[in-house]
């Protein structure tokens, strides 16, 4: 069993003074945990400050519009996190009178809160002895015991749960969880771990055998799926007040609730003929010939998908016949900063020097 006294002593001397570690406010801890789920600390820190400045309380978050929440989240990716935060805040206000539930059993019933987040908030804010098992903790425990179970497997999670619960018996549960997470992030790193600085190194099995690189045993990763997007960037002829067509993405695919452009998706690398024969091109631009060789190409990597994207910019009379006004939106280009966009679309705007965000 790892020496908990040495671990906690190390943590209190060495932990990074991140803003969410200076509080026991469950709302602030919850927001930080959601932001950091799939985001590095250095990247997430400014988003955390911006988010809580705009929504300082759960009531403020619940009262906001979804578009406002998505705007504050823009650039962080995994946008379902923001939608779930918003929905959970509304549930907390409606069901719990604006008070964050104090137990992991209640927290886990809220949208977007899984076992890790529920246990992290309950242990740090309310001292509930619930292990918060993330990738950092699994790496520490797998190396300490030279565990042969694959990362994220039921067997490794059970080993971690039992170990961390035992470590919590005589210590603040939140300190134990945070110390293990910090150890994994700063010392027991995925590569080149700093074993000589590790407070629990004397009992570590993989250190004794020099097998740190073996653990945790990696899971097999599925090859990302290739997708092929042809975006139609349609702008008006009126140069004094130029308009552009946007499309709001709906349920059932990536980027729900964000905006992009009218889209033609093909099963393989698109050709001009594929684009020309599509119903969308026929309805929007029947008098034009597509030319993918002149389009702007961007490749965009998501966790499980590789997006190959061509942007065809065309000036036309808006809104063309055949377009569904409920599905597409015509707005002045100088109002783009009022709409949330996925990172891919923001990259296109940046490349074309189209202003799509408000001045700070």
SS3 label, residue 272: helix
Contact criterion met (CB below 8 Å) for 128 and 97: no
DSSP bridge pairs for 305: 225
Length of the chain: 360
- The closest of 15, 319, 320 to 184, measured between CA atoms, is 15
Task: Provide the token pair at 180.
Answer: 């293990």
Alpha-carbon gap, residue 203 to 223, rounded angstroms: 37
Cβ atoms < 10 Å from Cβ of 196 = 8
First to last CA, the chain: 50
Report strand pairing: 263-266 vs 259-260. unpaired
CA geometry: angle 175, 86, 258, nearest 5 deg: 120
Distance CA 140, CA 162 (A): 14
Write the DSSP symbol of residue 256.
T
DSSP state at residue 355: -
**How many CB atoms within 10 Å of residue 228?**
17
Q: Which residues are catalytic?
A: 33
- Tokens 């074309």 label which residue? 352
Distances (CA, A) of 282 to 27, 247, 273, 313, 323: 50, 17, 12, 16, 10
From CA 15, how far away is CA 186, in angstroms rounded? 9
Q: Which two tokens stand for residue 350?
A: 């940046």
| Residue (of 147, 175, 150) closest to 162 by Cα position | 147
């Amino acid at each position: 069993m790892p020496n908990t006294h040495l671990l906690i002593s190390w943590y209190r001397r060495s932990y990074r003074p991140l803003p969410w570690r200076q509080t026991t406010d469950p709302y602030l801890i919850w927001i930080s945990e959601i932001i950091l789920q799939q985001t590095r600390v250095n990247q997430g820190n400014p988003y955390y400050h911006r988010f809580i400045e705009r929504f300082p309380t759960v009531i403020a978050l619940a009262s906001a519009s979804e578009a406002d929440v998505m705007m504050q989240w823009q650039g962080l990716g995994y946008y379902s996190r923001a939608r779930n935060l918003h929905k959970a805040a509304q549930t907390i206000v409606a069901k719990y009178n604006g008070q964050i539930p104090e137990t992991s059993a209640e927290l886990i019933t809220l949208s977007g809160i899984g076992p890790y987040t529920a246990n992290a908030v309950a242990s740090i804010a309310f001292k509930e002895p619930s292990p918060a098992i993330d990738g950092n903790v699994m790496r520490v425990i797998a190396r300490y015991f030279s565990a042969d179970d694959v990362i994220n497997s039921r067997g490794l999670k059970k080993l971690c749960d039992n170990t961390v619960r035992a470590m919590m018996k005589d210590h603040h549960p939140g300190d134990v969880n945070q110390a293990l997470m910090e150890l994994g992030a700063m010392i027991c790193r995925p590569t080149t771990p700093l074993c000589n600085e590790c407070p629990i190194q004397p009992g570590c099995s993989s250190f004794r055998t020099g097998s740190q690189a073996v653990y945790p045993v990696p899971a097999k990763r599925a090859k990302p799926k290739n997708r092929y997007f042809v975006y139609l960037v349609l702008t008006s002829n009126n140069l004094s007040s130029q308009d552009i067509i946007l499309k709001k993405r709906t349920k059932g695919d990536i980027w729900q609730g964000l905006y992009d452009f009218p889209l033609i998706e093909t099963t393989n690398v698109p050709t001009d003929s594929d684009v020309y024969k599509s119903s969308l091109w026929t309805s929007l631009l029947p008098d034009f010939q597509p030319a993918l060789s002149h389009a702007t190409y961007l490749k965009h990597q998501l966790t499980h998908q590789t997006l190959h994207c061509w942007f065809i910019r065309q000036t036309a009379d808006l809104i063309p016949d055949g377009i569904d006004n409920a599905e597409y939106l015509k707005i002045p280009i100088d109002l783009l900063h009022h709409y949330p966009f996925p990172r891919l679309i923001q990259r296109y705007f940046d490349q074309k020097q189209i202003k799509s965000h408000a001045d700070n």
